[in-house]
Amino acid sequence: MKRIGMLTSGGDCQALNAAMRGVVKTLGNSGEKTEIYGFLDGYRGLIYGNYRMLGTKDFSGILTVGGTILGTSRTPFKQIREPDENGLDKVEAMKKNYKKLKLDCLVILGGNGTHKTANLLRSEGLNIITLPKTIDNDLWGTDMTFGFQSAVDIATNAIDCIHTTAASHGRVFIVEVMGHKVGWLTLNAGMAGGADIILLPEIPYDIDKVVDAVEARDRNGSRFTIIAVAEGAISKEDAKLSKKEYKEKLRTRPYPSVSYEVAAQIQEKSGREVRVTVPGHVQRGGSPCPYDRVFASRLGSEAGRLILEDDYGFMVGYKNREIVKVPLEEVAGKLKMLSPDAAIVKEAKMLGICFGD
C-alpha cells in the first residue's frame, strides 16, 4: 500500500488538476493499492493538518478544469522557519503531520518558492516529488512548466483583440502581461500577437528608443502601435538603482504599474494617444489548453512511476523534448531567466520588434 500526500502551492494556474490526475491514474492503473491525502490550501494544509482523503471519483472529469481542487495559498519560504502567531514551528508541524499519516511520499505542485520549501522538507528527511507549475516558465531545470502555454494563449488573445481597436482608432496600445522577474510569457505572447515593441525585465529599456520606434511606425504609414509590457519591465535608469532605492521608487510611483508610466512618457514625448489594457489574473484562469493537458498528464504519469519505484527527491521536468527527473537541490532557489542574447530575442529583433534597448 502506498500512502501519498498531495498539495498545490503558490499562485494557481491551468493544468494543476490535470497533473494531479496524471499521478493518481498512473498509480491506480499499476495495480498498487494507494491512499491519497489531499492537503488543503497549500503548505498551510500540511502545517495545520487540514486534509481530506481523495478517491478516484475526485479525479474524474478534472482534466479540463482550471484552478485546483485542493485550493492553494502562498506560504513565503523566507517565513517558513518563523513560528506562526501561536508559536508553532511550521517545519516541525509539517514533518509531524507527514509522519502521523504514515505517508510514503508527498507530491508537491508549485513554482519557485514552492520548490524552496519542498527541497527543505527533502533535506529534513521527507520523501518528496515535485511537478513544475507556473505561467512564468521560470523554473530552473525544465524547459517548460505547465500553465505557461495556456497563459500564452490567453495573453496572445488579449493582444489580438486589441489590434482591431488600435487599428480603428490609430492609437498606441499597451498590453501588460504577467511576469515580475522574467519575460518568457510577455515575449512569447508579444511575438504571437504581433506586438511591435516588447519590454521585458531582463532587457532594461530606454524610453526614448521606445518613442523612436512608435514615431518610426508613424512615418512608415502605420496608424497604430502595439506594445507588450511585462509587469516587471524596468527602464535603464531604474536598473541602475539599488534594490532598496528601486523598492522606494515603486512605493512612491504615482502610476498603478510600469505600463501606465510608459504610457504617460510616450504621450508626453510624442503627443500620441496611448491606452493601457491589463488582462491580469485572467491569464491564470480558465481551462488548460490542449498542450498543457497533455504535458501535465505526462509529468503526472512520470511522477507516478517514480513513486512506484520509491525514487524520491526529484522534480519531474522537461529537457530536450524528453520528460526527465531533476534533483530538487539543483532546482531550489534558481530562476530560469531570459537571456538578452537568447536566440529567440535575436530572432524577434530580426523581425523588426523593438525591445527599447
CA distance 286 to 51: 25
**Residue from 30, 20, 82 nearest 55 by CA:** 20
Cα distances (Å, whole numbers) of residue 16 to 10, 62, 86, 135, 142 = 11, 9, 32, 11, 17
Q: CB of 10 within 8 A of CB of 133?
A: yes
Strand arrangement of the beta sheet that strand 225-230 belongs to:
197-199, 225-230, 172-177, 274-277
214 Cβ contact partners less than 8 Å away, ≥ 6 residues apart: 172, 197, 225, 266, 270, 272
CA distance 311 to 302: 11
Instruction: Map grid coordinates 531604474 to a residue.
Output: 238
CA distance 197 to 97: 50
Phi, psi (rounded to 5 degrees) for 84: -75, -175
The dihedral sign for the CA sequence 18, 19, 25, 28: negative
Instruction: Map grid coordinates 510569457 to a residue.
Output: 185
Catalytic positions, please?
136
Do strands 322-327 and 172-177 pair parallel, antiparallel, or not at all (unpaired)?
A: unpaired
User: Cα 200 to the chain's mean position, in Å?
Assistant: 15
CA distance 182 to 178: 9
Cα distances (Å, whole numbers) of residue 301 to 19, 55, 60, 189, 258 = 8, 17, 15, 29, 40
CA distance 114 to 132: 10
